[in-house]
């Protein structure tokens, strides 16, 4: 596999090349990279790629302090269908 086509976020199909380009354009924090590339915004909401993204940023600049804006996990923890919601009796 070519490194340029390595997928860093499977849900949004964000590649290493896209992350590198965003980093070079000035996005230095996980949140900035997320907003620029949509990494960690897919169906898993970062549960799969968040740690990889944060480790990649730390590897790019090991002397940088840990970012206070680390990415958080977002609900829903499990996808819920409209049918499941509609079954709720009011």
What is d(CA 44, CA 38) in angstroms, rounded to the nearest whole number?
A: 12
Q: Which domains does the chain have, with CATH numbers?
A: 3-86 (1.10.10)
- pTM for the complete prediction? 0.69
Indicate the pLDDT class of residue 84, thresholds 50, 70 and 90.
Answer: confident
Give backbone dihedrals phi and psi of 10, rounded to 5 degrees, phi first. -70, -40
**Residues 37-42: what's their mean pLDDT?**
90
Chain mean position to CA 49: 5
pLDDT of residue 44: 84
Query: Whose CA is closest to 42, among 68, 72, 69, 14?
Result: 14
Q: At what angle do helices 16-24 and 30-37 cross, to 10 degrees?
A: 110
Q: CA-based Rg of the chain, rounded to a whole angstrom?
A: 16
| pLDDT reading at 89 higher than 60 | no
In the predicted structure, residue 35 carries a pLDDT above the cut 70:
yes
* pLDDT the model gives residue 25: 95
Give residue-wise pLDDT tens across range 46-82.
Answer: 888 888 888 898 898 887 666 555 666 566 567 778 8
């Amino acid at each position: 596999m070519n490194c340029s086509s390595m997928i860093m976020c499977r849900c949004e199909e964000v590649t290493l090349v896209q992350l590198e380009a965003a980093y070079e354009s000035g996005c230095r924090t996980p949140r900035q990279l997320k907003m620029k590339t949509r990494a960690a915004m897919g169906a898993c909401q970062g549960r799969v790629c968040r740690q990889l993204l944060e480790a990649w940023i730390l590897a790019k600049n090991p002397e940088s302090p840990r970012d206070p804006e680390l990415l958080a996990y977002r609900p829903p923890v499990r996808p819920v269908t409209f049918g499941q919601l509609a079954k709720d009796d009011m």
